[in-house]
Structure 1
Amino acid sequence: MKQRMNLCILLSLFILLNSSLAFAAETPDFEHLDSLLPTEPKLPKNVCEQLSANLVAHNWRLADEIDNDPKNSSPDSQRIQTALDNCAAGSAVKLVTNEKNNAFLSGPLSIPSGVTLWVDKNVTLFASRSPADYDLGDGICGDALPKIKNRCQTWITATDTVNSGIVGEGALDGRGGSVLTSGKRAFKSTWWDLSMQSKAKVKLEQNNPRMLHVDGGKNFTLYKISLFNSPKFHFGSNDVDGITVWGIKLVTPSLAYANPDYQCDENDLPRPGKLDQPSRCFIPELVKNTDGIDPGTSTNVTLAYSFITTGDDNVAIKSGGKNKQSPASRHHLYAHNHFYYGHGMSIGSETDAGVHDIKIWDLVVDGNDSGHGVGLRIKSDGKRGGNVTNVTYDGVCMRRVKEPLVFSPYYSSTKSTKLPPSMQNITVRNFNYVDYPKAKYNKTVINLSGYKTDKLINPLGLTLDNVVFPRQPRVRDKHHHNIHFTLGKGQVVNFPLLGTDTNSVTDLRDPSLTGQAPYSCDDKFKAFPSPASPI
């Protein structure tokens, strides 16, 4: 009898153990993934020249009196550029405070090969707000015109550099919400007012400078720097091998141009079709084309331990082929990042040169119930499509996001089928969409589809593994066809589109994992760690 009781106890323990394992959440192997990351950058050991600030910023902003006269638009340009040009490779130009002075003001700058710009803690380098400083010689910069765009020089550039970068715990501020001081729109507009004209009934194109662009070269680094208020894209690259962005904070618009929680009076906001007076307050939804990090046709890219809130894509991996020799965007790592306002972790819309081998893990997205909020997105169309393959999202926590998943080859209304998009081997694993009390977007929208013409079908190849929604999302628009779903061993809860007439399903789910706990999002959502942030 005693032996029989012991057997019963052992059997009960065995059943209990297996039951608890079935309901336990699978822990992603972040340790293995983290081994793929490059070594964390360090601040430079060698400083070739230290420059002291001559200006004072209050509440993250320069007083207008400092540079209302465009003749005084960039008082620090020459001394910063001279110091950069005279700096030996392997050294840094360091911008530091000087008693109460904490600000620099410059027009366009160029970073030489092997040289680092170091913006020290409590220092801000501000961009000129005079369009004349960025003009390419035709007077178009600082205006909004039909079908004419990109007629401004980028504020900070690096061309064919090796081992260059921008580091430090200070900030770069593009002053996108400041009143322009030269050109046709002087004292009538801000850079972001120009951007809003893309939404006017007569669509106009903005001519605004980008903040930072790296063209060619190897091993460019952004480390710990804060990026604020770019008039257009914050960081972009083209044909670069080796980009490391680590520990940055990107805030647009910051408290310099907004109120806490973005509580702006409607009369102070930008208005489409109106360029007669500058706006006085901004919200993320109305600062158009202010992408955060846009690596284009670049390889070996890392974005890690960073915080991004902006008015457009938080990240947009691009691969627009200027010619047949343009490289694909390949081997990208995105780890331990937090996104807030923005259009999410995006690929596209230019994918014609190809995007391959992208790994994203431990991503937290809190969309703050923005009507423009997106989580994970791959976007392309028949005019600029290409092959997007081997993309894995592992360990994603998301809340208050209108469109958590958008994998669409119909990004625009183009009728062109010249470059058909193909999205294959896309995996979403350990994804948890979290309800938030009284949130507008507890019930969400997804947008998924393969690509189809009269002559061609490119199915969307999508694997789902431990993907949980608290309630079933709504499906957006007519395009949700030709999807091949593979269901991994983990549960898939409240997911639409499975097994419809034009979609197929390969079901590999493990019955023992039915009812498993979702991927844990405990303590994942964090306040934005910058006093300049309105959220």
Structure 2
Amino acid sequence: MNKYYLKQSGRLLLPLAAAAALLAACGGSDSASTATSGSQTAVNYGSGSVFQVGTTSFDANLPAEPTLPADTAVCASLQASNNLVSRPDGSLPPEADPSKTGVSVAVDAATANPDQARIQAALDACGAAVDAEVGAKIAAADAAATAAQVAAAAKNVNIAGVSGEELAKPAYQASKYAVRLVVNASGPGNGFISGPLTLPSGVTLWIDKGVTLYASRDAKAYAPKVAGPYCANTAVSATKAGSSSNCLPLIGGTNMVNAAVMGDGRIDSRGYAEIVTTDKLYPLMKVDLTCSNTYTAYATGKQAADGVSCDNGGTVVDSKSSSRNMSWWDLAYLGNMVQNGATGTGSQSNFRMMVFNYAKNLTLYRISLHNSANFHVVPSGVDGLTVWGVKVQTPSLAAFANPAGNGNPLYTGAVFTEDNVKNTDAFDPGSAAKAIQDNLGTGSVSKSAAKMSFDGYLKNFVFAYNYVSTGDDDMAFKGSANPTPAGSGLFSIDGKRDVRADRKYGMIVAHNHIYWGHGISVGSETNAGVTNVEVYDNSFLHSEEGLRIKSDYARGGEVSNIHYNNICIKDAQNALLFTPYYSTKALPAAGPLFPNFHDITLDNVRIQGNSAVKLQGFQANTGGFSNPQYPLGMTLNNVVADEPDLISVISSDAALIIKGVNLPLTATVDNRNVLTGVPTKAVDPAKVLDCSRAYVDFPSIGASNFFGSSWDSNR
């Protein structure tokens, strides 16, 4: 704790710990008087007032909150089977979709995947009805906008067609557009088990309160083609790693307008559960690392002999193995933490919960998401992406109960933790690979008659009022694909591109509660650039990282004009982590790419408890390459730690402008740090951010985690 005071400009400055005690004694902190101004509630601290994180219920910077559909907007309601009843821990009992013992034994499709066909049929019928009612209007609006854009702008490198803002108007929404999953009206049934679903354009999948949509454990459902690509492995040959792109997502959609997944129910991908197959020849890996068959034999309809080398990441075929099959998280841990480190060719082929490509107006609202086998939500090239009031918690209590065929933890014997369920990112929004003109997807096998234009950019993104705790990135902007020609000077993610009239900014991350995970990130895919992002009024409790920008010279790219404001971070391993040295991936064939982070601003950030801070730019002539220095250009205003002596700092190649900062930052020649301004352990209490109401328990969602029904904000 600091032992001294500093007096400047006639004002007494106190160490933050002392200031907090004084404020509490004088009515500050939790007992402070409050004053409401507009949509925000501030706490009065004598001569000044500061923002109180976590109390804003209305924000004029944001568009209107989404709403659930009216009952009259429902195309179809599907009732859960009384054979599927969630246990109090959120899992299904083993008898709901039982495994079968032995090698090369198929499970019954009737229990492994009972609901996919009827849910998809309802979605397809609703999609066809929506297209019949408003498809022509949407196509006409797009054709007119596209023609005008082509005629007016020779320099327009990407034709966007009709805007999502225009398509949000009632004229383009059908009278009936929702498929609703509900509890059984005459019994206890409240669960659905489904393989991959296609969300049609214009349709909302509404999962009602008390309902859980469980992912099927059938690996074959996510890799239906006999000739591949193959799902549920860590490799597809001796030299080629697995990939999530080998698997269909649980919910997917392409070329969509006005689609949504919402409701007060849950989706559980059951990454913890033993993988099974409805095809006895489909190769699965066992926890003893043997396999049941090879892909080579499977493709010809044969069973490989014992002792033949596996081609799915396992060792050898063993028909006599009594070990259980791997779970999805077993594969993720094996591929990422074991095989990738040893051979460089390991990575899991696990299905993602949701993947959406090319959309205008895509909404996730109030739904709870759990236990994805890989990333939870991956939306690319969306104009009007709204994630509002969503809860993500992985692993949930169901993962610890884990009754679906094994009742075991990881194949290593380790109990699940928030950090060993690998690659379970919550939200990874980004740009798409290119601009396209294509037909809207109106069903799983149907498309609209007319084509729509999509420019491939991520635009008008709102991430607000969410609660997230997962085993990897909580939210990460991915600037990995560039839908514009090289040299155009455009960023793949730009918060000033086509900002709608109903919001102030084009990229907003606000009013969220983040728990375990890698925080709010940019990257590591930054090669196409990320700029003009607003991140404000967010809290981080017990997170691995808080605020992070990450890249490396396998990716490169420019990240600029990222503004963080009113951020509370408590007991994070790394409160601030800005580094261009994220990984050691192989360099592109054309040579290294150099990350460039600049014009990054942190205003009003408070760090509580032990933590680390890393502020790094890219050093000149790094790694044997001849390259200029790209210093981290950052401004820090009122960035304070309650106990700065507990904050460890690593900083290099950084040009920092600081004011009201008590972090132990220093200007050093050896590390090429340049500071404008002087850090001090004493701070102005009138400017200290109020975090007294920032940290809350994870909301009760029926089943939560190993430690109880909710996260304890005081643990």
TM-score (norm 2): 0.65
Aligned residue runs from structure 1 range 5-24, under 5 A: 24=48
Match of 1:169 in 2: 264
Moved more, 108-117 or 48-57: 48-57
Does the C-alpha gap of structure 1 residues 218 and 497 become closer, same or farther in structure 2, counting only changes over 3 Å?
Answer: farther
Query: 2:200 — aligned with what?
Result: 112
Amino acid at match of 1:85: D
The change in CA–CA distance for 1:21 and 1:84 in structure 2 (over 3 A counts) is closer
Matching residue within 283, 289, 292 for 2:426: 292
- Give the corresponding residue for 1:11: none
Counterpart of 1:419?
A: 593
Q: Aligned ranges for residues 58-457 of structure 1 at < 5 Å? A: 58-59=87-88, 60-68=90-98, 69-72=107-110, 73-87=112-126, 88-89=129-130, 90=174, 91-98=177-184, 99-135=187-223, 137=225, 138=228, 140-145=230-235, 147-150=241-244, 151-182=246-277, 183-185=283-285, 187-197=324-334, 198-200=336-338, 202-203=342-343, 204-258=346-400, 269-271=409-411, 281-297=415-431, 298-321=458-481, 324-325=484-485, 328-331=492-495, 332-367=507-542, 373-414=544-585, 416=587, 418-435=592-609, 442=610, 444-452=611-619, 453=621, 454-457=626-629
| Greater relative CO (CA pairs within 8 A, separation 6+) | 2
Q: Given the superposition, is the C-alpha separation of residues 286 and 241 from structure 1 closer, same or farther in structure 2, using an over 3 Å criterion?
A: same
- Three-state SS of the structure 1 residue aligned to 2:332 is helix
State which of 82, 85, 102 in structure 2 corresponds to 1:56.
85
**Matched residues in 1 for 2:586 and 2:47: separation?**
48
Q: Deviations over 1:294-328 (max 9, x none)?
A: 10112211111110000001111101126655961
Deviations 1:329-381 (A, max 9, x none): 2221011100111011111000111111111111110126xxxx111100001
Number of aligned pairs? 493
Deviation string for 1:74-127 (max 9, x for gaps)?
Answer: 111111111111113331000101131101111000111110000000001111
Q: Which shows bigger deviation, 181-190 or 328-337?
A: 181-190
Alpha-carbon distance, 1:494 to partner? 2.5
* Paired AA for residue 572 in structure 2: V
Q: Find the residue that maps to 2:572 and give its secondary structure.
A: strand
2:443 maps to what in 1?
none
Whole-Å separation in 2 of the counterparts to 1:126 and 1:533: 16
Deviations 1:443-481 (A, max 9, x none): x222211112333111111110111112242234xxx32
Matched, 1:496 2:665: yes
Question: Which amino acid counterpart does residue 457 of structure 1 have in structure 2?
Answer: Q
2-structure distance, mates of 1:33, 1:53: 36
Q: Is the 8 A contact 1:239 1:327 kept in 2?
A: no
- Aligned equivalents of 1:244, 1:500: Cα separation in 2: 45
> Mind listing any 5+ residue stretches in structure 2 that lack a counterpart?
1-9, 15-43, 99-106, 131-173, 278-282, 287-323, 402-406, 432-457, 496-506, 706-710
Q: Which amino acid aligns with 1:43?
A: L
Distance across 1 between alignment mates of 2:586 and 2:190: 53
- The answer for the alignment partner of 2:51 in structure 1 is 27
Cα-to-partner distance string for 1:377-411 (whole Å, 9 max, x where unaligned):
00001121211111111111111111111111111
Q: CA deviation at 1:64?
A: 2.7
| More divergent stretch after superposition (112-121 vs 146-155) | 146-155
Separation of aligned partners in 1, 2:12 and 2:573 = 39
Superposed displacement of residue 524, structure 1: 1.2
Which amino acid in the other structure matches residue 493 of structure 1?
Answer: N
Report how far residue 184 of structure 1 moved. 1.4
The aligned counterpart of 1:262 is none
Unaligned 5+ segments in structure 1 are 1-14, 260-266, 436-441
Distance in 2, matches of 1:286 and 1:269, equals 11
Aligned to 1:523: 693
Larger-gyration structure (1/2):
2
Q: Determine the C-alpha separation between the residues in 2 that align with 1:430 and 1:258.
A: 38
Query: Partners in 2 of 1:207 and 1:25 — Cα distance?
Result: 52
Report the Cα offset of residue 258 of structure 1. 2.2
Alignment of 1:27-46 (within 5 A): 27=51, 34-45=59-70, 46=73
Partners of 1:520 and 1:313 lie apart in 2 by 26
- 1 CA distance for matches of 2:415 and 2:229? 27
Aligned to 2:634: 462
- 2: CA distance, partners of 1:418 / 1:18: 47
2:134 corresponds to: none
Tell me if structure 2 keeps the 8 A contact 1:84–1:93: yes
SS at match of 1:133: helix
CA 1:33–1:296: 2 relative to 1, 3 Å:
farther
Q: Distance in 2 between matches of 1:195 and 1:322?
A: 28
* Cα displacement string for residues 222-244 of structure 1 (whole angstroms, at most 9, x for unaligned residues): 00000011000000111111100
Greater strand share, 1 or 2?
A: 1
State the match for 2:74 in structure 1.
47
Distance 2:616 2:516 in 1: 25
Cα distance in 1 for residues equivalent to 2:364 and 2:67: 10
The worse-fitting range, judged by mean Cα deviation, of 218-227 and 18-27 is: 18-27
Aligned AA for 2:663? N
Aligned partners of 1:337 and 1:101: how far apart in 2?
Answer: 33
Aligned counterparts of 1:127 and 1:36: Cα–Cα separation in 2: 37
Pick closer, same or farther for the CA change 1:18–1:305 going to 2, 3 Å. same
Mapped to 2, the partners of 1:495 and 1:237 lie a distance apart of 39
Aligned equivalents of 1:33 and 1:504: distance in 2? 40
After superposition, the C-alpha distances for 1:259-314 in whole angstroms (9 at most, x for unaligned) are 7xxxxxxx95425xx5xxxx684211110000001101122111111100000011
Corresponding residue SS for 1:38:
coil
Match 2:644 to one of 471, 493, 496: 471
TM-score normalised by structure 1 residue count: 0.86
SS of 1:378's partner is: strand
